[in-house]
Amino acid sequence: MILLQLKSLNKTFNNFCALSDIDFSVREGEIVGLVGPNGAGKTTLFNLICGRYRPSSGNILFKGIDITDLKPHTICHLGISRTFQSSRPFPRMSTLQNVLVGHIFGKGFSLHACPEDRQTAIELLEIVGIAHKADTPAGQLTLSEQRRLDLARALATRPKLLLLDEVAAGFSPVLVKQAIQLINRVRKRGVSLLIIDHFLNLSLKVADRLLALDHGEKIAEGPPHMVMRNRDVLQAYLGLRHQDEEDD
Amino acid sequence: MIYFAAKNRINGSKTCGVGLILGFLLLLTLPLLVHSNNYILQVFTHALLLASLALAWNLLGVSGSISLGHAAFFGVGAYGSALINLEFGLSTWLTIFLAGLIATGLGLIMGLICLRLRGAYFALATLAFVEIPKVITDNWDALTKGSLGLVGISGLPTLRMGDWHVDFGAGIADSYYFVFVYFVILLGLVAFVSRSNMGLALQAIREEEIAAEAVGIHVNRYRLLSLLMSAFFTGVCGACYAHLVRYIEPGLVYGLHFSAVPMIFAICGGRFTILGPAVAALILYPVDQFIFHPLLPAGHEFLYGAVLILTVLFIPYGFWGRLRNA
């Protein structure tokens, strides 16, 4: 079943075309990697899906509902959650409180906190492996811990689709391995994932499919090994102009 | 920073707790202790009113917005209650409540105009916003008597329960208790809101607005709600002021004083704490009146400026925030 569908999506900023004519969909239970060089439009696409930006034209459907013009908080209530390229914790609130906020507001308004909320939040911190930092102000966590917190907070909103923006960028091989385990655990909870992965250190190992962007255009789509052999993708990443000339 | 000494937190809170209980008992029994010394009681009545004003200001302050325009709510509350009282002779209880509603209405207008702004731009817009009700009040002579001000405003109301009654306007000790009770009620309410989920939402918005909306918080709704609540209680403070002093004029109740002073108390005490703004008001205003006013009758308010600068430089999260965690 199709969970997320993008229909000829366009976004321009002051005559600069950030995304043009993107058609794409994510099926339920799928992990899709979003790859492409700097400035390809990956984060812009996230911001469109989450409602931070409005597309210049085109539609976004989630579970068959048109969410193109909805506000970020409503889109979250419907079941799309995200992490940020540079994580955005609530720095002076405790790590546990950060996750509680996601849990309490993720599905709309609830007036009173109940004790189970706290338990759920602690479980999520255990899943991402920072439960021992529950009482530490989030601003004092290390970069890797803040990314985990971002993930726990996003999961706390009980999403059906989770968008991860550069979740493993700059990670050591050990941390990448942990991130892969974490993503597989998230998938087992019945969450579909769309992962921005500029450095390709994650999506080649976990993704079912890749979507490759360059200069705001879709250049390839399909299973990871196919996409990585695609000429346009290699050219976008490595710049194979020289080889092109030889071919011609 | 403020969490630097987190492990000593328990000792810090204990000291603060004892201090708070002593302070509360002192305020409760003050009229008996000072044998109704008018001057001392008058200063503390105003200190409690300013503490309430600081608490009301901080209902918006916790969401991270700094308002320089609360005199608009204070002034419209003072004029609203006084005029309804003078023109229609309604019960002062009712007029004080209506004053709060009028201020809330003004808060709605301010919210629709200014809440799309953030940080310094929001602060400047609110500063300019005060001029609207001020100019109207100043020039609508037929209704407000313009810059002449209003005199003969009735005193604080009387509470009746069967045969038993207290006239809060009778003497300074009675007025003191009226303001004291309002202060305690407001404090309870602020504590309740801060600890509710709404308080959590406001904190999250203050800390990182983009993440807050991404986890499902309706940012504009909560910011508007906190502004409306803040406006209501600031309007009630203005009404209390009008019936306490019984003379108001536009330059006074819409003056920068009533915008700046609650902000200074809140920042100095700690914007992100519940009690900080009130504690700061209850310490700084009496210090200003008892020590600096006799020394420097003309320039005593330099104290507030100096305290604000020192706080921002050395304890940016306010002394109450620091004490509680130290």
Residue B252 to residues B97, B124, B240, B261, Cα–Cα distance (Å): 21, 20, 14, 13
Model confidence at A197, pLDDT cuts 50, 70, 90, reads: confident
- B152 or B72: whose pLDDT is higher? B72
Residue A113 scores a pLDDT above 70: no
> Could you tell me if A78 lies within 8 Å of chain B, comparing CB atoms?
no
> Could you tell me if B210 lies within 8 Å of chain A, comparing CB atoms?
yes
Q: Which site among A46, A81, A84, A92 would you substitute to test the B interface, given the most B Cβ atoms closer than 10 Å to its Cβ?
A: A92
**pTM (2 decimals)?**
0.90
Alpha-carbon distance of B156 to B179, in angstroms, equals 10
The pLDDT of B173-185, averaged and rounded, is 95
* Bridge partners, residue B166, by sequence: B159
ipTM: 0.89
Model confidence at A179, pLDDT cuts 50, 70, 90, reads: confident
> Could you tell me if A53 lies within 8 Å of chain B, comparing CB atoms?
no
Residue A206 scores a pLDDT above 50: yes
Catalogue all structural domains in chain A, each as residue range(s) with its CATH number.
Answer: 2-79+161-247 (3.40.50.300), 90-158 (no CATH)
Q: What is the pLDDT of residues B116-172, one digit of tens each?
A: 999 999 999 999 999 999 999 999 998 889 888 999 898 898 888 888 888 888 888
Model confidence at A166, pLDDT cuts 50, 70, 90, reads: confident
Residue A189 scores a pLDDT above 50: yes
Q: What is the pLDDT of residues B311-324, one digit of tens each?
A: 999 998 899 888 87
Residue A244 scores a pLDDT above 70: no
Q: What is the CA radius of gyration of chain B?
A: 20
Is A204 in contact with A228 (CB distance < 8 Å)?
Answer: yes
Residue A243 scores a pLDDT above 70: no
Alpha-carbon distance of A244 to A229, in angstroms, equals 15
Contact B216 A91 (CB under 8 A): no
By percentage, how much of chain A surpasses pLDDT 90? 64
Alpha-carbon distance of A29 to A31, in angstroms, equals 7
Catalogue all structural domains in chain B, each as residue range(s) with its CATH number.
Answer: 6-325 (1.10.3470)
Q: What is the pLDDT of residues B73-123, one digit of tens each?
A: 999 999 999 999 999 989 999 999 999 999 999 999 999 999 999 999 999
Residue A153 scores a pLDDT above 70: yes
Choose among B3, B216, B272: nearest Cβ to A76: B216
Q: What is the pLDDT of residues B17-67, one digit of tens each?
A: 888 899 999 999 898 888 878 899 999 999 999 999 999 999 999 999 999
Q: What is the pLDDT of residues A209-227, one digit of tens each?
A: 999 999 999 999 999 988 8
Model confidence at A111, pLDDT cuts 50, 70, 90, reads: low
Q: Where are the beta strands (DSSP E) in B17-174?
A: 150-151, 158-161, 164-167
